């Protein structure tokens, strides 16, 4: 199975800050990477697919980059609604696997 490792596991930041979350795959997954946002009590929401393609309706302050084994999710200017847990996932090689999550908390 492909292992997905996120860092950091948690981060504290303020509204307006720029935040970057990293995801590393245990083998080459090209650009087959998705990012999800999850708020307490709700299902994960797909933000980005193909490493950098923003889903319809997702604010442009979110961006993704990377290929191969190293990927990043960047939020350019944090808004109050962005405080949540973020997960990466490889959605192409069976079985699909998720990172352990990065909890973004208010400083």
Partner 1 sequence: QVQLQQSGPGLVKPSQTLSLTCVISGDSVSSTSATWNWIRQSPSRGLEWLGRTYYRSDWFSDYAVSVEGRLTVKADTSTNQFSLLMTSVTPDDTAVYYCARGALNIRAGLPLDFWGRGTLVTVSS
In the complex, which residues of this chain contact partner 1 (CB under 8 A)?
Answer: 1, 31-32, 34, 36, 42-46, 49-50, 53, 55, 87, 89-92, 94-98, 100-101
Which strand ranges, in their side-by-side order, compose the sheet holding 19-25?
4-7, 19-25, 70-75, 62-67
CB of 90 to partner 1, least distance (A): 8
- Judged by beta carbon, residue 13 or residue 58, the one nearer partner 1 is 58
Report the alpha-carbon distance of residue 19 to residue 21 in Å, rounded: 7
**Residue 66 or 78: which CB sits closer to partner 1?**
66
Cβ proximity to partner 1: between 17 and 103 the closer is: 103
Residue 82: phi, psi to the nearest 5? Answer: -85, -10
> What gap in Å lies between CA 100 and CA 4, rounded to an integer?
8
Coil, helix or strand for 66? strand
Q: Nearest distance from residue 46's CB to partner 1, in Å?
A: 5
Q: Which is nearer to partner 1, 78 or 101 (CB)?
A: 101
> Do 34 and 92 meet the contact criterion of CB atoms below 8 Å apart?
no
CB of 101 to partner 1, least distance (A): 6
């Amino acid at each position: 199975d492909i292992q997905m490792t996120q860092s950091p596991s948690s981060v504290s930041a303020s509204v307006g800050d720029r935040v970057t979350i990293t995801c590393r795959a245990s083998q080459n997954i090209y650009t087959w990477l998705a990012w999800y946002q999850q708020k307490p009590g709700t299902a994960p929401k797909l933000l980005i697919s193909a490493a950098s393609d923003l889903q319809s309706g997702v604010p442009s302050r979110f961006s993704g980059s990377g290929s191969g084994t190293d990927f990043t999710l960047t939020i350019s200017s944090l808004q109050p609604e962005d405080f949540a847990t973020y997960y990466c996932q490889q959605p192409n090689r069976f079985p699909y696997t998720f990172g352990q999550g990065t909890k973004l908390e208010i400083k």
